[in-house]
Amino acid sequence: METELTVVTLNCWGIFLVSKNRIPRINAIADELASGKYDFVFLQEVWTTKDFERIQLRTSSVLPYSHYFFSGVVGAGLCIFSRFPIKTAFFHQWAVNGYIHKIQHGDWFGGKGIGMVEVQHEDLTINLYCAHLHAEYDRSNDEYLAHRVNQAFDTAQFISLTSKHADLVIVAGDLNTEPGDLAYRLIVHTAHLNDAALSCSSSSTETNVNKMNTFETPRNSYTSSSSLISNPFGKRIDYVAFKSGPSVIANALTCETSWPDRVSGQTFSYSDHEAVIAKLRVCKSLLGCTCNLLTGAEISISDEVKKNEILKESIEICDHALSHLQASNKMYILLSIAMFVLFTITANFEFQFVLVLRIVILFLLSFGIFMSVIWHKMEVHGILAGKLGMVIELGRCPLASGTDKVLQEPRGGGGDDIWV
């Protein structure tokens, strides 16, 4: 059996009341998807079910199967459309995903994670994964690096654990990480994925690689002039990746960002991201197959060495984050103590401005207690869970090897249970 599959992924930038030209853009995206060109569609930042239903209604004749992943406060924003029947669907929410008080970023409220559906196409069992990692708001001082690294490892582990019986795995989405970044390397090498853009010979030159940039590109109507000063070609953070199972060979024939620069008849683009379209050739049997890549079962020793180096680097990021959390927790404890003292001192004053001040103090006191007692534990346990998973994957877990003492005494004392 030999077949070709066309895949598209797009971050739709569908934030209610925030994203510009949202409804006409969603309608234009739906019209393009209804053209019948695509077998699988991966969408991110479809933040309202009404937008999902708009797309679903317009594409039902060519993409009759779809699934929207509900999660968090406003939903994960992820959905998958398929030409072929969806057998099962599952959503895995990440343990760490930004901060609840960083309302201006909003990642936490999305309850982000990785969505998976299993599709049956003739004799092929295909696992489709859609993900949208935490955004990088400041590259020079990335406060979310440990979160994104943990999300990347969690994503890779989830793919590996749920795709053992799949003939083909396709992963697509806005990974918010550039090629060469740790999170990108962690996903690709730990899950043993092929980046479709790099698998195509047409993407081998620097010029063609720049054409695959998907965010803040010069061609996009929503790209600001200030971002082009620092990044004149934009950056590549949206991907299609794949791997094949035993007795299956897959390769990427093309990978492009070929949607028009503007919505037809309009002055704006389809989104602030570019759509990535990849065409894959898949062979079920090795006999008589014209594909020329290794099967997903064949992993070289050099790949394993590279993966181990990436895991060690990731563990260091986790250790640094855990140490930083110790210091920030002390700050929240001191804030709580200071606010409690001020609240007590102002108890005997009844002036109106003092009453307002007491309300502010009470809010800060509650915030300090919440962050130091509840949120601190949640973040520590999330990062620690990721780190210990990396340790096991690396093969250094004392339960596995009996040689390395990975779990040491907690740093900083004070009865805290941050194991580093």
pLDDT tens per residue, range 45-59: 999 999 999 999 999
Q: What's the rounded mean pLDDT across residues 248-260?
A: 95
| Residue 396 backbone zone (phi > 0: left; psi -120 to 50: alpha; other: beta) | alpha
May I ask the CATH architecture of the domain 2-299? 4-Layer Sandwich (3.60)
The per-residue pLDDT for 304 is 81
DSSP string, 267-309: SS-S-SB--EEEEEEEES-STT----SPPTT---HHHHHHHHH
Q: pLDDT value at position 294?
A: 46
The per-residue pLDDT of the chain, averaged, comes to 88
The answer to whether the CB of 77 falls within 8 A of the CB of 46 is yes
Give the span between the Cα atoms of 96 and 112, in whole angstroms: 9
* 8 A C-beta contact, residue 195 and residue 241: yes
Instruction: Average the pLDDT over 197-206 and give the result.
Output: 66
Query: Cα(369)–Cα(211) distance, rounded to whole angstroms?
Result: 49
165 is catalytic: no
| Phi, psi angle pair for 353, to nearest 5° | -65, -30
Give the confidence band of 373 by pLDDT, cuts at 50, 70, 90. Answer: very high
Tokens of 68: 């929207």
Q: What is the pLDDT of residue 219?
A: 95
3-class secondary structure, 45: strand
pLDDT at site 138: 80
> Best-predicted range by mean pLDDT among 107-111, 272-276, 405-409?
272-276
Q: Which of 273, 320, 324, 376 is catalytic?
A: 273
- Give the predicted TM-score (pTM) of the model: 0.87
* pLDDT tens-digit series, residues 297-340: 455 677 788 899 999 999 999 999 999 999 999 999 999 999 99
